Amino acid sequence: MVRIMVVDDHAVVRSGLMSLLDGKDRLQVVGEAADGDEAIARAAQLRPDVVLMDLSMPHGKDGLTATKELKKELPDTAVLILTMHDDEEYLFRAIQAGASGYILKSAPHDELVAAIRSVATGDAYLYPSATKRLMGEYMEKVKNGENAGTYEALSDREKEILAWTAKGYSNKEIAEHLIISVKTVESHKSNLMEKLGLKTRPELVKFALKKGLLHFE
């Protein structure tokens, strides 16, 4: 039996999903939540196998923030994003947040069940058109000589240091701004350069420019 928690800010949507899934195909809905904060608290109590998470919830934490925090607290609980957003940016951010899968609300019932079962067993799930799109983008990046997907592998702190370094700030200035030691900045910088396959500062600046990170205040 796969134990599921449904998270969506619309009561009608939650009710419909629970009615659709509970007791069918060896699925059991054990709880529900209306926003990210409630989802984290309820998941800690119920410890479901899968959390069916909406992205856009205007009150409290959104789905991406909730996913990231929930995975820190409950690494064994899989999060399946169920959303209306057919957008690769949301898709990348969801995966980066720790989600195991991403499926559209327009998906048929049997596909949703398959997605739930897939993430419950530790596998990843992406709806078919998203998989095709990601592979197309990957091949295009490879064709253009770019390191595909490497930016998504950076930690939040590494991304911060990448942006500050590209803008010309010294290690000392970055350390003072982020309230960390210069040695820590140097360590993060070394790690991010290795992950990105970069050797020099000009290469780093070029990479940051392509990613749209050079926004000066």
> Within a domain: residue 58?
yes
What is the spatial distance between Cα 188 and Cα 199, in angstroms, rounded to a whole number?
14
d(CA 33, CA 56): 13
Same domain, 60 and 157: no
Domain hosting residue 171, numbered range: 151-210
Q: Is residue 215 part of a domain?
A: no
Statement to judge: residues 85 and 173 lie in one domain:
no
Tell me if 166 is assigned to some domain.
yes
Check pLDDT > 50 for residue 120. yes
- Band the pLDDT of 216: cuts 50, 70, 90: very low
- Helix 88-97 / helix 63-73 crossing angle, nearest 10 deg: 20
Higher pLDDT pick, 49 / 126: 49
Domain count for the chain, please give it: 2
pTM for the model: 0.62
Question: Does 131 score more than 80 pLDDT?
Answer: no
Cα separation, 126 vs 60, whole angstroms = 26
Do 108 and 186 fall into the same domain? no
Residues 80/146, Cβ–Cβ less than 8 Å: no
Q: What is the pLDDT, as a whole number, of residue 134?
A: 54
Q: Let me know whether 163 and 103 are in one domain.
A: no
CA dihedral 119, 155, 178, 181 (to 10 degrees): 120
pLDDT at 140: 53
Assess if residue 136 is contained within a domain.
Answer: no
Same domain, 164 and 82: no
CATH no. for residue 16? 3.40.50.2300
85 burial via Cβ count (<10 Å: 0-12, 13-18, 19+): middle
Residues 65 and 98 in one domain: yes
Burial of 195 (0-12, 13-18, 19+ CB in 10 A): middle
Bridge partners (DSSP) of residue 28 are 3
Q: Domain for residue 137, yes or no?
A: no
Is position 42 within any domain? yes
Instruction: In whole angstroms, give the CA distance from residue 35 to residue 58.
Output: 8
Question: Is 138 contained in some domain?
Answer: no
pLDDT in tens, 48-97: 999 999 988 877 788 989 999 999 999 999 999 998 887 767 777 788 78
